[in-house]
Amino acid sequence: FVFNLWKTSQGTVVFAQDISYVFAAFITSAFFSLVAIFRYKNRKSQFMLGRLNMILNFILLGFFVYQSLNLSGETAVSEKGIGVLLPIISIVFLALANKAIKKDEDLVKSVDRLR
């Protein structure tokens, strides 16, 4: 919410809270991440929430790419903010988290086989 997404050719800075569906996607992504943190006892639902969050971030990234290609006045170079990169960073960390969750689940399954 704090980082700007892009700067238009008129010099107006656009934030996530200026576009309602982008704001809703960021809020939903933050909610999924927060819920997944506290679902540590149920790794399958934690893994599923991570996947849903990745899908949501891919949709958000697709919107940002589409929007950056179709901005009016794009012949003049517009400035992209760091907010456009946040879904990419989020996807990388979600993939690492899901990899670790999968590794933990496999470890628990292998220990259960020994009993």
Give mean pLDDT in consecutive 10-residue pieces for the chain, a chain of 115 residues. 70 74 87 92 92 94 81 58 83 95 90 74
Token pair belonging to 74: 């794009």
- Where do the domains of the chain lie? 4-113
pLDDT (0 to 100) of residue 63: 85
The predicted structure's pLDDT at residue 78: 61
| Rg from Cα positions in the chain | 18
Q: How far apart are CA 109 and CA 115, in angstroms?
A: 10
pLDDT at 74: 54
Whether 77 and 9 have beta carbons less than 8 Å apart is answered as no
Model confidence, pTM: 0.80
pLDDT at 73: 55
- pLDDT given at position 2: 67
